[in-house]
């Protein structure tokens, strides 16, 4: 492939990228088939994940009521405001691996009297040098169930709580459900909840039954986990709610985990109130001469060669086959597909070294590459809207694929935040089939030629609005693309584009607005196909008004 340095390619305003006529020269084509629905895009696909890990809770979300940093009852105000704008739908808490060492009782009652406990991650080898002790290592439990559920109320999101299956009992779990959901005044725990400031039940619907039970969540076999899953989830009082249990699913492509668990559950007659099967998939580079060990194989978040740009997007694209492969296995036992996939951890994971502060374990910078990865992944979820009922990007702030970076009073929106903002228009829409054809982007993987699709995307309908989102993966090529919408006439197009002046660009605490989306509005002069030139290394949303 002829490649030119992306550095120095100037950003062209969206309007200049649009032609309202047929183009002989278009090298790529997108067809939107408005008459071929796939499924409703669950707003929960736009979910988040909060773990007591490094700077996620302490410094990220929780600044404390007496802080000079603007806050609502101790919760960072800037974060609340920015989250409300992108309609966060659901937040998973308190882990992750942390969840299977967490006792919910430690985090309720007067804050001054809560116990201090070693955090699950206290000994992690990834801690930045000279990281001081503090609540990130020895949890002071200032942020517990009430604080988290208050956070969800403030941002208008559903809570999704992960039960401790490895180190607490099923009875402890039932009592957590009682504390959160039993009617006002009905039980001793409901009275404790009222004494802690919340008389009415929180009505928590989503409950995760363990986390990574094949690993940090207990190192179980699928059969052992199936027995635990049943013990935890059967006969839990509903308190009038439609509780949705989410099973701890596979690590990436481990189909045996899915098959053996579903087979064991099917032996006892079915899936009960299991609504979701959790899949985790992180993207990291393992190809450029590194070992496949997940701790060793990671690349840098900011200083990467072009090959790593492509390889990371290749890793992200694997999400599509993970969804279809696990779905097929689940269907061998759950023929009606009552249980959907919940991708409750996804994103890019880099080696340590770009964190904004030495208390931010697994903190990393987030460049335009991460924005493209986010768009690519969300588009995959839309294309499988019939299979994926929830997804949670890992993790919200100061951690892996974060939408925010914050330290003390500084607060930054990462390029991935802007993608969530641009893509929010898809929430609740009807996903429709799209056909993309574009030249592939080639690169060198350990001396062997490899390639990934040049363009990726999805479309959805909502009323008279058609949303088409597209990622251009190529670091150098603008893609002139003919776009044909079948079954509808377009009369106005609003185009929002996110790109950068170089492929390493990012928003930092010192330069927080280096990357921001640009919007332009265009009148469509004919009902036919039109041409749009997608800038290199970009994420674009075309919002079309149909007649």
Binding site for ligand AHR (CB under 6 A): 51, 95-97, 211-212, 345, 394-395, 400
Q: How far is the CB of 359 from ligand AHR (least distance, A)?
A: 16
Q: How far is the CB of 347 from ligand AHR (least distance, A)?
A: 8
Q: Residues 6 or more apart from 316 whose CB is under 8 A from it?
A: 283, 348, 373, 376, 377
- The reply to whether 27 belongs to the active site is no
Best CA proximity match to 330, nearest among 379, 389, 380: 389
Beta-strand pair 340-348/274-283: parallel
- The reply to whether 345 belongs to the active site is yes
Q: Which of 345, 355, 482, 505 is catalytic?
A: 345
How crowded is residue 525: how many other Cβ atoms within 10 Å of its Cβ? 10
Q: How far is the CB of 217 from ligand AHR (least distance, A)?
A: 8
**Rounded to 5 degrees, what are φ and ψ at 542?**
-110, 115
Q: How far is the CB of 97 from ligand AHR (least distance, A)?
A: 4
Spatial contact of 424 and 86, defined as CB atoms under 8 Å apart = yes
Of 395 and 497, which CB lies nearer to ligand AHR in the complex structure?
395
- DSSP assignment string, 13-71: -GGGGEESS--SS--EEEEEEEEEEEEE--GGGGEEE--SSTTSTBTTTB--TT-SS-E
Residue closest to ligand AHR, measured at CB: 96
Cα gap 180→438, rounded to integer Å? 50
Cα gap 60→46, rounded to integer Å? 20
Q: Residues 6 or more apart from 67 whose CB is under 8 A from it?
A: 74
Best CA proximity match to 209, nearest among 144, 143, 274, 259: 274
Q: How far is the CB of 345 from ligand AHR (least distance, A)?
A: 6
Cα gap 12→7, rounded to integer Å? 14
Q: Specify burial of residue 450 (Cβ count, 10 A radius: 0-12, 13-18, 19+).
A: middle
Q: How far is the CB of 339 from ligand AHR (least distance, A)?
A: 20
Of 51 and 334, which CB lies nearer to ligand AHR in the complex structure?
51
Of 20 and 251, which CB lies nearer to ligand AHR in the complex structure?
251
Spatial contact of 393 and 48, defined as CB atoms under 8 Å apart = yes
Cα gap 213→300, rounded to integer Å? 29
Of 394 and 397, which CB lies nearer to ligand AHR in the complex structure?
394
Of 76 and 280, which CB lies nearer to ligand AHR in the complex structure?
280
Q: Which of 212, 228, 308, 311 is catalytic?
A: 212
Of 233 and 402, which CB lies nearer to ligand AHR in the complex structure?
402
Q: How far is the CB of 56 from ligand AHR (least distance, A)?
A: 9
Secondary structure letter of residue 151 according to DSSP: H
Of 147 and 345, which CB lies nearer to ligand AHR in the complex structure?
345
Spatial contact of 331 and 271, defined as CB atoms under 8 Å apart = no
Which residues are marked as active site?
A: 212, 345
């Amino acid at each position: 492939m002829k490649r030119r340095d992306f550095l120095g390619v100037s950003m062209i305003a969206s309007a200049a990228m649009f032609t309202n006529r047929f183009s002989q020269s278009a090298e790529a084509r997108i067809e939107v088939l408005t008459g071929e629905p796939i499924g409703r895009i669950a707003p929960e696909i736009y979910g988040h994940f909060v773990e007591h890990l490094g700077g996620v809770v302490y410094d990220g979300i929780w600044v404390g009521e007496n802080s000079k940093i603007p806050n609502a009852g101790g919760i960072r105000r800037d974060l609340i405001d920015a989250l409300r704008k992108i309609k966060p739908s659901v937040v998973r808490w308190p882990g992750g691996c942390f969840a299977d060492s967490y006792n919910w009782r430690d985090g309720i009652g007067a804050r001054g009297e809560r116990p201090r406990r070693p955090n699950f991650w206290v000994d992690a080898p990834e801690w930045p040098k000279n990281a001081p002790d503090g609540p990130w290592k020895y949890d002071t439990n200032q942020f517990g169930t009430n604080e988290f559920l208050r956070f969800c109320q403030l941002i208008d999101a559903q809570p999704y709580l992960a039960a401790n299956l490895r180190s607490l009992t099923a009875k402890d779990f039932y009592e957590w459900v009682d504390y959160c959901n039993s009617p006002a005044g009905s039980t001793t725990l409901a009275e404790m909840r009222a004494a802690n400031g919340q008389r009415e039940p929180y009505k928590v619907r989503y409950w995760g039954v363990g986390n990574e039970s094949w690993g940090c969540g207990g190192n179980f076999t699928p059969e052992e986990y199936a027995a635990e899953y049943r013990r935890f989830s059967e006969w839990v009082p509903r308190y009038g709610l439609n509780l949705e249990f989410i099973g701890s699913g596979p690590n990436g492509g481990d189909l045996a985990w899915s098959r053996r668990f579903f087979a064991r559950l099917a032996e006892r007659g079915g899936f009960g109130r299991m609504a979701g099967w959790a899949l985790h998939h992180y993207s990291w580079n393992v190809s450029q001469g590194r070992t496949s060990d997940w701790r060793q194989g990671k690349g840098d978040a900011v200083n990467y060669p072009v090959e790593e740009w492509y390889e990371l997007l290749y890793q992200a694209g694997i999400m599509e086959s993970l969804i279809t492969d696990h779905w097929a296995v689940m269907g061998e036992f759950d023929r009606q597909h009552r249980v959907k996939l919940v991708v409750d951890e996804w994103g890019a994971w880099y080696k340590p070294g770009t964190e904004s502060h030495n208390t931010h374990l697994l903190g990393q910078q987030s460049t335009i590459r991460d924005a493209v990865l986010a768009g690519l992944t969300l588009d995959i979820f839309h294309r499988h809207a019939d299979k994926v009922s929830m997804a949670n990007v890992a993790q919200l702030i100061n951690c892996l694929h974060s939408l925010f970076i914050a330290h003390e009073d500084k607060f930054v929106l990462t390029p991935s935040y802007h993608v969530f903002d641009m893509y929010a228009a898809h929430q609740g829409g009807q996903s429709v089939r799209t056909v993309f054809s574009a030249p592939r982007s080639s690169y060198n993987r350990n001396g062997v030629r490899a390639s990934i699709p040049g363009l990726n995307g999805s479309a959805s309908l909502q009323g008279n609005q058609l949303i088409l989102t597209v990622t251009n993966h190529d670091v150098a090529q603008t893609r002139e693309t003919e776009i044909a919408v079948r079954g509808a006439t377009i009369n106005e197009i609003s185009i929002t584009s996110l790109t950068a002046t170089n492929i390493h660009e990012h928003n930092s605490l010192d330069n927080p607005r280096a990357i921001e989306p640009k919007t332009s509005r265009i009148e469509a002069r004919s009902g036919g196909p039109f041409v749009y030139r997608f800038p290199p290394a970009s994420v674009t949303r075309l919002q079309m008004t149909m007649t």
